[in-house]
Structure 1
Amino acid sequence: MKAFIVEKIEDKKFESSLKEIDTPKIEKDEVLIKATYSSLNYKDALSSVGNPGVTRVFPHVTGIDVAGVIEQSNSENFKVGQEVLVTGYDLGMNTNGGHSEYVKVPASWVVPKPENITDKEIMTYGTAGLTAALSVNELLNNGIKSGKVLVTGATGGVGSIAVSILSKLGFEVVAISGKEEKIEFLKALGASEVILRKDFDVENKRPMGSEKYDGVIDTVGGNILAEALKVIKYDGVATCCGLTSSFELNTNVFPFILRGVRLIGIDSVECKIEKKIAAWVKIADEFKIDTLDDLTNEITLEEVKEAYEALLAGKAVGRYLVKI
């Protein structure tokens, strides 16, 4: 079968390419999925260059999500021909991932495909869409049903889908992006206002700012999240799911103890399968957006390497969909 392989040549030196490898053999409680679509994420790009925080087992197939059809099953929970998807867990990290024609996974990782959504749509959302949906859910579950929401890293995979979902639900969405040329793109997705990163990512010594946002969906971390926390309204909520700006958070307790602000971490990798299933059902229904085509760059396995270079250089916009 064809697969996109990352190989370790020597210490701190890696090479990646599309190759022919053996189709994997499944064992007890495993399934083999004939892949139809996967996607590209920042974590995939890090894996492609041997980042030890993502992948330590080589040679390795990238791809942290996949959709397709059960080809073989050694699980009583899934039958041959069933349409399924997998996101998160160890897929594409130290377990061979979705950038291959066949993917072997534990049955406990597998989600039955919801109704009213195609494989292509599922992987346009992918792990990024699942993360966005989990983030929006936390706002809703914590009382943020309307108002103004700030989305950081808004042209990225998670951010762009979050902007679209929030807009569909009737929120006033303010987007932060470092890409001035993408202001109209973000407004087309539903942002009512776009703030350039250089105007927001400025350290100031004030422990608090004026109240502006009912909620925040942060995808970048660092100083941008720290400054966002200062301007959330009383009883507001911020979610945090990324660190492309920084993994550090230099903040103070005033937003939490004077305004009752809540900061909620979002993990789409190890969260319970029941939570993933519920989120995917919402994605196929009330969270389903009509801007998917605007968000999508569809590529083949042969084009994965070039797309990784764009992701690592910070030049990617929207989602990369990989047709297998």
Structure 2
Amino acid sequence: MFKALVVEKSESGEVSASVQTLDDARLPEGNVTVAVEYTTLNYKDGLCMTAGGGLVRSYPHVPGIDFAGTVETSDDPRYRAGDKVVLTGWRVGEVHWGGYATKARVNADWLVPLPDGLTTRQAMAVGTAGFTAMLAVMALEDHGLAPGAGEVLVTGAAGGVGSVAVAILAKLGYQVAAVTGRPELEPYLKSLGARRIIARAELAETVKRPLETETWAGCIDSVGGAMLARVLGQMKYGASVSSVGLAGGSQLPATVIPFLLRGVNLLGIDSVMRPYNSRLRAWSRISRDLPMKTLEAMVQPATLADLPQLGAAILKGQVQGRVVVDVNA
């Protein structure tokens, strides 16, 4: 038997979530069974616990797009009972039962070994959000960003991806400018390493001019929409933007002028289908370059029973930092 947060959909279309005890026979297909220790909360999880997004294809369903734990049984030679593992992405928690449970059964190809120096709890303090943030930093560096080039902008800075991005960039020696719509979070963002706080309203409106003063040496953007369009026109010559989200909308009301006249690069960051070697590189960088004391300051502990309420809150932009869920609590 195992415990899980089960999302169900009634004939009328109403979606509800509750913690239930299930038989192991209910676990989906897969060649590795993991005793889950920790999971976390992401925007997609909020969608999967409600009727939004259309991410869940069949009910009943167990959400949770990432988890960390210990291998219980394995039919794949790469993993043995007792191995510590991490899973992010691969549509787990969306089309495949995920980490909001004390057990998960998955394909071995979706797992990576827990990096040396990280606990399973720390791995989920990082989670998909932190993994995505590191991919975004790596992409900027691969396109020439280095400390000393100027300010690096992080939009949606108080969210999961943004918080970790600020902490990583600050640890690496970058001057970080953090954008937030919640001025009361300035002390929090500065504790993560942000040098300057920028009000969301300053960047939220589209301007008629395709180019503005060259300001940012790099950007990690989790907002999209009008803000991303505005930022593109403020990038320094040859600078890059890592696009990781669309909290402000999926449309991009921009022109090609920043790309043609300033050589600006717009880099799409996908963490779901990321190849294995790239995952290993990112997790290695996380274990080395993410300050764990700073990471711990972002953490809000939770249990499976807390998740429906937290899922609604994250969809409204009301969750700060990282939620780490002890599934056995």
1:266 aligns with 2:269: yes
Shift of the alpha carbon at 1:29?
6.2
Q: Distance in 2 between matches of 1:181 and 1:280?
A: 32
Deviations along 1:161-186, one digit per CA (max 9) or x if unpaired, are: 00000000000000111111101111
After superposition, the Cα gap between the structure-2 partners of 1:72 and 1:167, relative to the gap in structure 1 and judged at 3 Å, is same
1:313 aligns with 2:316: yes
Shift of the alpha carbon at 1:112?
0.6
Q: Distance in 1 between matches of 2:139 and 2:38?
A: 28
Q: Distance in 2 between matches of 1:28 and 1:183?
A: 46
The amino acid that maps onto 1:182 is L
1:286 aligns with 2:285: no
Q: Distance in 2 between matches of 1:288 and 1:238?
A: 23
Contact 1:25–1:104 under 8 Å retained in 2? no
The amino acid that maps onto 1:150 is L
Q: Distance in 1 between matches of 2:194 and 2:42?
A: 23
Contact 1:28–1:75 under 8 Å retained in 2? no
Aligned residues: 324
Q: Distance in 2 between matches of 1:236 and 1:181?
A: 30
Contact 1:152–1:220 under 8 Å retained in 2? yes
Deviations along 1:116-145, one digit per CA (max 9) or x if unpaired, are: 111111000000000000000001111101
Contact 1:27–1:74 under 8 Å retained in 2? no
Shift of the alpha carbon at 1:52?
4.4
Alignment RMSD, CA only? 1.4
The amino acid that maps onto 2:312 is E
- Find the residue that maps to 2:309 and give its secondary structure: helix
Shift of the alpha carbon at 1:10?
2.4
Shift of the alpha carbon at 1:11?
4.4
Aligned match of 1:253? 256
Aligned match of 2:137? 136
Deviations along 1:188-229, one digit per CA (max 9) or x if unpaired, are: 111111111122201211111000000010001100100000
Query: Mind listing any 5+ residue stretches in structure 2 that lack a counterpart?
Result: none
In terms of mean alpha carbon deviation, does 235-244 or 24-33 score higher?
24-33
Residues 1-324 of structure 1: matches in 2 within 5 Å? 1-24=2-25, 30-146=31-147, 147-324=150-327
Q: Distance in 1 between matches of 2:26 and 2:314?
A: 32
- Find the residue that maps to 1:16 and give its secondary structure: strand
- Find the residue that maps to 2:258 and give its secondary structure: helix
Q: Distance in 2 between matches of 1:101 and 1:78?
A: 19
Shift of the alpha carbon at 1:158?
0.1
In terms of mean alpha carbon deviation, does 306-315 or 36-45 score higher?
306-315
Deviations along 1:209-266, one digit per CA (max 9) or x if unpaired, are: 0000000100011001000000000010001010111011011111101111000000
- Find the residue that maps to 2:184 and give its secondary structure: helix
- Find the residue that maps to 2:270 and give its secondary structure: coil
Contact 2:128–2:271 under 8 Å retained in 1? yes
Give the TM-score, by structure 2 length. Answer: 0.96
The amino acid that maps onto 1:23 is D
- Find the residue that maps to 2:263 and give its secondary structure: coil
% same residue: 39
Give the TM-score, by structure 1 length. Answer: 0.97
Q: Distance in 1 between matches of 2:38 and 2:25?
A: 18
Q: Distance in 2 between matches of 1:315 and 1:285?
A: 30
